Amino acid sequence: MTKRAFIFIGIALLLITNLNAACHGKFINPISDICWKCIFPIRVAGIEVVRSHTNGDEKNTKRVICKCFRPQLRMTLPGIPISFWEPVRLIDITREPYCMVSLGGKSLSKSGEANVKGRGDPHAKKNVPGHKESFYQAHWYIYPIIYWLEVIMDFMCLDNASIDVSYMTELDPLWNDDKKAFILHPEAILFGSLIAQGACIADCAAASRKKGLPLDPLFWCNGCQGSLYPFTGMVPLHSSGVQGSLLITGKLMAKLHRELLLWGTTGSPALCQKYPMPFIRKSQYRLQMTYPLPDTQRCHAFGETETLWYAGKEFPVKGEDFAYLIWRKRDCCLI
Protein backbone atom coordinates (compact mmCIF):
# COMPACT_ATOMS: atom_id res chain seq x y z
CA MET A 1 0.00 0.00 0.00
CA THR A 2 1.40 3.36 -1.01
CA LYS A 3 2.07 6.27 1.33
CA ARG A 4 -0.70 8.25 -0.39
CA ALA A 5 -3.20 5.47 0.36
CA PHE A 6 -2.23 5.50 4.04
CA ILE A 7 -2.79 9.27 4.17
CA PHE A 8 -6.18 8.91 2.45
CA ILE A 9 -7.32 6.20 4.90
CA GLY A 10 -6.10 8.27 7.84
CA ILE A 11 -8.07 11.33 6.67
CA ALA A 12 -11.21 9.18 6.14
CA LEU A 13 -10.95 7.71 9.63
CA LEU A 14 -10.46 11.18 11.09
CA LEU A 15 -13.57 12.46 9.32
CA ILE A 16 -15.65 9.49 10.53
CA THR A 17 -14.43 10.06 14.10
CA ASN A 18 -15.32 13.74 13.95
CA LEU A 19 -18.80 12.97 12.63
CA ASN A 20 -19.47 10.49 15.40
CA ALA A 21 -18.02 12.89 17.99
CA ALA A 22 -20.54 15.55 16.98
CA CYS A 23 -23.42 13.55 18.49
CA HIS A 24 -23.36 12.53 22.15
CA GLY A 25 -25.93 11.11 24.52
CA LYS A 26 -26.95 8.06 26.54
CA PHE A 27 -29.87 5.77 27.15
CA ILE A 28 -31.72 6.73 30.30
CA ASN A 29 -31.40 4.27 33.16
CA PRO A 30 -34.96 3.91 34.53
CA ILE A 31 -33.64 2.95 37.96
CA SER A 32 -30.79 5.35 38.68
CA ASP A 33 -31.49 8.30 36.33
CA ILE A 34 -35.07 9.07 37.38
CA CYS A 35 -36.14 11.14 40.37
CA TRP A 36 -38.79 8.71 41.58
CA LYS A 37 -39.85 10.91 44.48
CA CYS A 38 -41.15 13.39 41.87
CA ILE A 39 -44.23 11.17 41.63
CA PHE A 40 -45.40 12.74 44.91
CA PRO A 41 -47.67 14.09 46.23
CA ILE A 42 -50.34 11.44 45.75
CA ARG A 43 -53.91 12.32 46.64
CA VAL A 44 -56.89 10.02 46.98
CA ALA A 45 -60.39 11.49 47.32
CA GLY A 46 -58.82 14.91 47.84
CA ILE A 47 -56.68 13.72 50.76
CA GLU A 48 -52.90 13.88 50.49
CA VAL A 49 -51.77 10.34 51.36
CA VAL A 50 -48.10 10.87 50.41
CA ARG A 51 -46.57 14.33 50.69
CA SER A 52 -43.84 15.90 48.55
CA HIS A 53 -41.06 17.70 50.42
CA THR A 54 -39.36 19.13 47.33
CA ASN A 55 -41.90 19.99 44.65
CA GLY A 56 -45.00 22.16 44.59
CA ASP A 57 -48.40 20.96 43.47
CA GLU A 58 -51.28 22.79 41.86
CA LYS A 59 -54.82 22.98 43.22
CA ASN A 60 -56.68 19.69 43.15
CA THR A 61 -60.27 18.67 42.96
CA LYS A 62 -61.87 18.27 46.39
CA ARG A 63 -64.37 15.69 45.25
CA VAL A 64 -64.68 12.55 47.34
CA ILE A 65 -66.58 10.61 44.68
CA CYS A 66 -66.56 10.91 40.90
CA LYS A 67 -68.45 9.19 38.13
CA CYS A 68 -67.64 8.53 34.51
CA PHE A 69 -69.41 7.02 31.54
CA ARG A 70 -67.75 3.86 30.21
CA PRO A 71 -68.61 3.26 26.52
CA GLN A 72 -67.53 -0.39 26.74
CA LEU A 73 -70.13 -1.08 29.43
CA ARG A 74 -72.59 1.54 28.19
CA MET A 75 -73.14 2.80 31.70
CA THR A 76 -71.93 5.40 34.19
CA LEU A 77 -69.88 4.06 37.08
CA PRO A 78 -68.82 5.74 40.35
CA GLY A 79 -65.19 6.00 41.38
CA ILE A 80 -62.65 7.74 43.59
CA PRO A 81 -60.62 10.79 42.42
CA ILE A 82 -56.89 10.16 42.45
CA SER A 83 -54.03 12.48 41.51
CA PHE A 84 -50.31 11.86 41.05
CA TRP A 85 -47.39 12.84 38.83
CA GLU A 86 -46.18 10.50 36.11
CA PRO A 87 -43.10 10.63 33.83
CA VAL A 88 -44.58 10.36 30.36
CA ARG A 89 -42.31 12.08 27.82
CA LEU A 90 -38.64 12.66 27.01
CA ILE A 91 -37.20 15.53 25.01
CA ASP A 92 -33.80 16.01 23.35
CA ILE A 93 -32.38 19.50 22.86
CA THR A 94 -29.47 19.22 20.44
CA ARG A 95 -27.11 21.41 18.45
CA GLU A 96 -26.74 18.75 15.77
CA PRO A 97 -29.65 17.89 13.45
CA TYR A 98 -30.86 14.31 13.82
CA CYS A 99 -28.70 13.66 16.88
CA MET A 100 -30.78 11.39 19.12
CA VAL A 101 -29.40 12.25 22.56
CA SER A 102 -31.70 9.92 24.50
CA LEU A 103 -30.98 7.01 22.13
CA GLY A 104 -27.35 6.74 23.11
CA GLY A 105 -26.13 9.65 21.01
CA LYS A 106 -26.93 8.01 17.68
CA SER A 107 -27.14 10.23 14.62
CA LEU A 108 -29.75 9.61 11.92
CA SER A 109 -27.82 11.80 9.49
CA LYS A 110 -24.80 10.39 7.67
CA SER A 111 -23.33 13.78 6.94
CA GLY A 112 -24.07 15.54 10.24
CA GLU A 113 -24.93 18.62 8.19
CA ALA A 114 -28.50 17.77 7.19
CA ASN A 115 -29.67 21.14 8.43
CA VAL A 116 -27.08 23.83 9.06
CA LYS A 117 -29.76 25.88 10.82
CA GLY A 118 -29.73 23.27 13.55
CA ARG A 119 -26.39 24.40 14.96
CA GLY A 120 -26.88 25.47 18.57
CA ASP A 121 -23.55 27.18 19.15
CA PRO A 122 -24.28 30.67 20.52
CA HIS A 123 -23.13 33.61 18.47
CA ALA A 124 -23.27 37.34 19.06
CA LYS A 125 -26.41 39.15 18.00
CA LYS A 126 -26.01 41.86 15.42
CA ASN A 127 -26.06 45.38 16.88
CA VAL A 128 -26.64 44.02 20.41
CA PRO A 129 -23.27 44.02 22.23
CA GLY A 130 -22.89 41.36 24.92
CA HIS A 131 -25.97 39.39 23.84
CA LYS A 132 -25.92 36.01 22.10
CA GLU A 133 -28.51 33.93 20.31
CA SER A 134 -28.62 30.24 19.46
CA PHE A 135 -30.72 27.67 17.65
CA TYR A 136 -31.53 24.09 18.66
CA GLN A 137 -33.39 21.13 17.26
CA ALA A 138 -35.62 19.01 19.51
CA HIS A 139 -36.98 15.46 19.58
CA TRP A 140 -40.09 14.41 21.49
CA TYR A 141 -40.35 10.84 22.80
CA ILE A 142 -43.36 8.99 24.19
CA TYR A 143 -41.99 7.49 27.40
CA PRO A 144 -44.63 6.05 29.81
CA ILE A 145 -42.03 4.42 32.03
CA ILE A 146 -44.35 3.85 35.03
CA TYR A 147 -46.66 1.74 32.88
CA TRP A 148 -43.81 -0.27 31.38
CA LEU A 149 -42.13 -0.94 34.71
CA GLU A 150 -45.47 -1.37 36.51
CA VAL A 151 -44.11 0.80 39.34
CA ILE A 152 -47.56 1.54 40.75
CA MET A 153 -50.05 -0.85 39.21
CA ASP A 154 -51.58 -1.53 35.84
CA PHE A 155 -54.73 0.57 35.91
CA MET A 156 -56.59 2.83 33.55
CA CYS A 157 -55.17 6.12 34.89
CA LEU A 158 -51.67 5.42 33.53
CA ASP A 159 -50.51 6.47 30.09
CA ASN A 160 -50.15 3.08 28.37
CA ALA A 161 -48.76 4.16 24.99
CA SER A 162 -45.75 2.53 23.36
CA ILE A 163 -42.27 4.01 23.78
CA ASP A 164 -41.58 5.83 20.53
CA VAL A 165 -40.17 8.95 18.84
CA SER A 166 -43.23 11.04 18.05
CA TYR A 167 -41.92 14.44 16.90
CA MET A 168 -38.71 15.71 15.28
CA THR A 169 -38.31 19.42 14.60
CA GLU A 170 -35.97 18.73 11.66
CA LEU A 171 -39.09 17.62 9.76
CA ASP A 172 -41.14 20.65 10.79
CA PRO A 173 -40.89 23.53 8.26
CA LEU A 174 -42.16 26.02 10.88
CA TRP A 175 -39.43 25.32 13.44
CA ASN A 176 -36.70 27.38 11.81
CA ASP A 177 -38.82 30.21 10.43
CA ASP A 178 -40.29 32.83 12.78
CA LYS A 179 -42.52 34.29 10.07
CA LYS A 180 -44.09 30.98 9.08
CA ALA A 181 -44.58 30.02 12.73
CA PHE A 182 -46.76 33.12 13.13
CA ILE A 183 -49.69 31.21 11.59
CA LEU A 184 -49.80 29.05 14.73
CA HIS A 185 -49.86 31.95 17.18
CA PRO A 186 -51.17 35.22 15.69
CA GLU A 187 -51.69 36.45 19.27
CA ALA A 188 -47.90 36.76 19.61
CA ILE A 189 -48.17 40.32 18.32
CA LEU A 190 -49.83 41.23 21.63
CA PHE A 191 -46.95 39.97 23.78
CA GLY A 192 -43.97 41.69 22.20
CA SER A 193 -44.30 44.84 24.29
CA LEU A 194 -42.08 45.65 27.28
CA ILE A 195 -45.09 45.44 29.60
CA ALA A 196 -45.97 41.90 28.47
CA GLN A 197 -42.35 40.77 28.68
CA GLY A 198 -41.91 42.46 32.04
CA ALA A 199 -44.76 40.35 33.40
CA CYS A 200 -42.51 37.31 32.92
CA ILE A 201 -40.50 38.53 35.91
CA ALA A 202 -43.47 37.70 38.14
CA ASP A 203 -43.72 34.27 36.50
CA CYS A 204 -40.02 33.71 37.16
CA ALA A 205 -40.38 34.65 40.82
CA ALA A 206 -43.47 32.48 41.34
CA ALA A 207 -41.87 29.40 39.76
CA SER A 208 -38.58 29.86 41.64
CA ARG A 209 -40.01 29.96 45.17
CA LYS A 210 -39.61 26.90 47.35
CA LYS A 211 -42.26 24.47 46.12
CA GLY A 212 -43.36 27.25 43.78
CA LEU A 213 -45.49 27.02 40.65
CA PRO A 214 -45.57 29.11 37.45
CA LEU A 215 -48.40 31.56 36.76
CA ASP A 216 -50.69 29.86 34.25
CA PRO A 217 -52.45 33.10 33.18
CA LEU A 218 -49.07 34.31 31.83
CA PHE A 219 -49.13 31.62 29.16
CA TRP A 220 -46.68 33.51 26.92
CA CYS A 221 -43.90 33.35 29.55
CA ASN A 222 -41.37 30.62 30.21
CA GLY A 223 -40.51 32.14 33.58
CA CYS A 224 -36.84 32.95 34.07
CA GLN A 225 -35.84 31.66 30.61
CA GLY A 226 -37.81 34.21 28.56
CA SER A 227 -40.79 34.27 26.21
CA LEU A 228 -42.37 31.18 24.66
CA TYR A 229 -43.10 33.09 21.46
CA PRO A 230 -42.38 32.41 18.67
CA PHE A 231 -42.72 28.61 18.64
CA THR A 232 -39.36 28.09 16.92
CA GLY A 233 -35.92 26.80 17.86
CA MET A 234 -34.38 30.24 18.28
CA VAL A 235 -33.07 31.39 21.67
CA PRO A 236 -32.86 35.19 21.31
CA LEU A 237 -30.96 35.83 24.57
CA HIS A 238 -28.66 32.86 25.16
CA SER A 239 -27.00 32.95 28.59
CA SER A 240 -26.17 29.24 28.99
CA GLY A 241 -26.92 25.90 27.40
CA VAL A 242 -29.18 24.94 30.31
CA GLN A 243 -31.17 28.17 29.99
CA GLY A 244 -31.45 27.75 26.23
CA SER A 245 -32.49 24.11 26.44
CA LEU A 246 -35.16 24.85 29.05
CA LEU A 247 -36.58 27.59 26.84
CA ILE A 248 -36.64 25.31 23.79
CA THR A 249 -38.38 22.64 25.87
CA GLY A 250 -41.09 25.13 26.81
CA LYS A 251 -41.44 26.36 23.23
CA LEU A 252 -41.91 22.88 21.81
CA MET A 253 -44.42 21.92 24.49
CA ALA A 254 -46.41 25.11 23.91
CA LYS A 255 -46.31 24.38 20.17
CA LEU A 256 -47.54 20.81 20.68
CA HIS A 257 -50.42 22.09 22.80
CA ARG A 258 -51.35 24.56 20.07
CA GLU A 259 -51.31 21.74 17.53
CA LEU A 260 -53.50 19.68 19.92
CA LEU A 261 -50.86 17.00 20.20
CA LEU A 262 -50.71 17.56 23.97
CA TRP A 263 -53.94 17.65 26.02
CA GLY A 264 -55.05 18.62 29.49
CA THR A 265 -54.78 16.02 32.25
CA THR A 266 -55.55 18.06 35.38
CA GLY A 267 -58.64 19.38 37.11
CA SER A 268 -62.21 18.11 37.21
CA PRO A 269 -62.55 17.96 33.38
CA ALA A 270 -59.71 15.40 33.27
CA LEU A 271 -61.21 12.95 35.75
CA CYS A 272 -62.89 10.92 33.01
CA GLN A 273 -60.74 11.71 29.99
CA LYS A 274 -58.10 14.08 28.65
CA TYR A 275 -59.34 17.27 27.05
CA PRO A 276 -58.07 19.72 24.38
CA MET A 277 -55.77 22.43 25.75
CA PRO A 278 -54.57 24.81 23.00
CA PHE A 279 -52.85 27.09 25.54
CA ILE A 280 -50.32 25.31 27.70
CA ARG A 281 -51.04 25.01 31.43
CA LYS A 282 -47.52 25.25 32.80
CA SER A 283 -48.35 24.03 36.31
CA GLN A 284 -49.36 20.70 34.75
CA TYR A 285 -45.69 19.85 34.14
CA ARG A 286 -42.38 19.31 35.88
CA LEU A 287 -38.96 18.93 34.24
CA GLN A 288 -36.04 16.73 35.22
CA MET A 289 -32.68 16.76 33.47
CA THR A 290 -31.49 13.32 32.37
CA TYR A 291 -28.51 14.33 30.21
CA PRO A 292 -25.66 15.22 30.40
CA LEU A 293 -25.96 14.76 34.20
CA PRO A 294 -29.17 13.27 35.63
CA ASP A 295 -30.73 15.43 38.34
CA THR A 296 -32.22 12.73 40.57
CA GLN A 297 -32.86 14.88 43.66
CA ARG A 298 -35.86 16.88 42.47
CA CYS A 299 -37.86 18.07 39.50
CA HIS A 300 -38.11 21.70 38.49
CA ALA A 301 -41.16 23.83 37.92
CA PHE A 302 -41.83 25.17 34.45
CA GLY A 303 -39.89 28.46 34.20
CA GLU A 304 -37.95 28.02 37.47
CA THR A 305 -34.58 29.77 37.50
CA GLU A 306 -31.68 27.54 36.54
CA THR A 307 -29.04 29.69 38.28
CA LEU A 308 -29.36 27.72 41.54
CA TRP A 309 -28.73 24.29 40.04
CA TYR A 310 -27.17 24.50 36.58
CA ALA A 311 -23.54 24.66 37.77
CA GLY A 312 -21.63 21.71 36.33
CA LYS A 313 -24.56 20.64 34.15
CA GLU A 314 -22.94 22.03 30.98
CA PHE A 315 -19.40 21.27 29.82
CA PRO A 316 -17.49 21.05 26.50
CA VAL A 317 -18.02 18.31 23.91
CA LYS A 318 -20.24 15.77 25.70
CA GLY A 319 -22.13 18.29 27.82
CA GLU A 320 -23.50 20.70 25.22
CA ASP A 321 -26.67 18.81 24.29
CA PHE A 322 -29.45 18.12 26.78
CA ALA A 323 -32.32 15.79 27.56
CA TYR A 324 -35.22 16.20 30.00
CA LEU A 325 -37.82 13.87 31.41
CA ILE A 326 -41.29 15.44 31.40
CA TRP A 327 -43.47 14.75 34.44
CA ARG A 328 -47.19 15.40 33.99
CA LYS A 329 -49.86 15.88 36.63
CA ARG A 330 -52.67 13.33 36.29
CA ASP A 331 -56.12 13.69 37.80
CA CYS A 332 -58.22 10.59 37.24
CA CYS A 333 -61.40 8.88 38.39
CA LEU A 334 -60.32 5.45 39.61
CA ILE A 335 -63.16 3.01 38.92
pLDDT in tens, the chain (335 residues): 454 443 333 433 333 444 445 899 999 998 899 999 999 999 998 888 888 888 888 777 778 899 999 888 889 999 999 999 999 999 999 999 999 999 999 998 764 444 445 556 676 665 566 678 999 999 999 998 887 776 555 466 877 778 899 999 999 999 999 999 999 999 999 988 888 899 999 999 999 998 999 999 999 999 999 999 999 999 999 999 999 999 999 999 999 999 999 999 999 899 999 999 999 999 999 999 999 999 998 899 999 999 989 888 999 999 999 999 999 999 999 88
**R_g over Cα of the chain:** 21
- CA nearest 301: which of 220, 217, 228, 223? 223
Pairing of strands 137-142, 164-168: antiparallel
CA distances to 175, 187, 232, 285, 306 from 117, in Å: 10, 26, 12, 29, 26
Sequence-ordered alpha helix ranges (H) in 76-230? 145-149, 178-181, 194-198, 200-208
Cα 289 to Cα 323: distance, rounded to the nearest angstrom: 6
- What distance in Å separates the CA atoms of residue 175 and residue 172, rounded to the nearest whole number? 6
CA distances from 167 to 87, 210, 250 (A): 17, 33, 15
Give me the percent of the chain exceeding a pLDDT of 90.
64
What is the CB neighbour count within 10 angstroms for residue 260?
10
Kindly report the pTM of this predicted structure.
Answer: 0.88
CA gap 222, 254 in Å, rounded:
10
Give the contacts of 57 (CB within 8 A, at least 6 positions apart): 41, 211, 213, 329
Could you tell me if 146 and 152 are in contact, meaning their C-beta atoms sit under 8 angstroms apart?
yes
Alpha carbons 178 and 188: distance in angstroms, whole number: 11
pLDDT tens by residue, 67-108: 999 888 889 999 999 999 999 999 999 999 999 999 999 998
* Mean pLDDT value across the chain: 86
Contact criterion met (CB below 8 Å) for 25 and 102: yes
